[in-house]
Amino acid sequence: DQQVKQNSPSLSVQEGRISILNCDYTNSMFDYFLWYKKYPAEGPTFLISISSIKDKNEDGRFTVFLNKSAKHLSLHIVPSQPGDSAVYFCAPLTSGTYKYIFGTGTRLKVLA
Amino acid sequence: EAQVTQNPRYLITVTGKKLTVTCSQNMNHEYMSWYRQDPGLGLRQIYYSMNVEVTDKGDVPEGYKVSRKEKRNFPLILESPSPNQTSLYFCASSTGQGRFWNEQFFGPGTRLTVL
């Protein structure tokens, strides 16, 4: 039972363009959604999050959009830079619990 | 420097030989957790701990043990490793409370091979 799906295993984008990474979930109890970025040979690092009371959260070049009715969230990176090349994981959870579910990840490659 | 450390970083062992992977954080975090990463499966939570002496199972706890005797340390124990436990393991911690309660800091990973 896969509660979190990132259906695009990989994505290539030209430098300066927009990168859109998608994440779908099935559990309606999720009310907090995080994105992590992972470089090779390193642990994941927190990138941005959104609460279910919002539908958008911005932090510099990164924006996360949440569509609760569709159980879908997306991460937009504008403009994309070569240093953004990494694997991105979405990780939703339910407040008050500490069981994290991670998606399978999307490998983003930003071409110079 | 605020960090989560794991040791060893690489380990090759044989089936049935007990091993421990250590994890330590210097941020006074309440919450700690262990994950394994496998190709095509993302990160899966093994065990987590909300505080000293408080631990609970994640999604894939079979074959693993943990303990939390001190706040800063959260070792992962494999009593009788098997080849299906060959994986990349990450330890993580977070405050567990306040505004940034769920933003986890991850260690650099331990690559384990069980022959």
Q: Which residue has the higher pLDDT, A77 or A100?
A: A77
Indicate if the pLDDT at residue A26 is higher than 90: yes
Structure confidence at residue B96 (pLDDT):
72
Structure confidence at residue B98 (pLDDT):
66
In this prediction, residues A8-13 reach a mean pLDDT of 96
Nearest to A54 by CA among A36, A76, A32, A72: A32
Residues of chain A neighbouring B103 (CB-CB closer than 8 A): 34, 46, 49
Which among B50, B103, B105 has the least Cβ separation from residue A98? B50
A89 touches chain B (CB under 8 A): yes
Cross-strand pairs, B43: B37
In this prediction, residues B95-106 reach a mean pLDDT of 78
d(CA A36, CA A48): 7
Structure confidence at residue B60 (pLDDT):
95
- Tell me phi and psi for residue A83, to 5 degrees: -65, -10
Structure confidence at residue B99 (pLDDT):
64
Residues of B with CB under 8 A from a CB of A: 4, 31, 33, 35, 40-45, 48, 50, 56, 58-59, 90, 92, 96, 102-109
Which among B4, B40, B42 has the least Cβ separation from residue A102? B42
The distance of A22 to chain B (nearest Cα, Å) reads: 15
State pLDDT tens for residues A41-91. 999 999 999 999 999 999 999 999 999 999 999 999 999 999 999 999 999
Computed over every residue of chain A, the mean pLDDT equals 94
State pLDDT tens for residues B64-94. 999 999 999 999 999 999 999 999 999 999 9
Q: Which two tokens stand for residue A27?
A: 């559990």
Cross-strand pairs, B25: B4
Q: Which two tokens stand for residue A99?
A: 């069981």
Structure confidence at residue A2 (pLDDT):
74
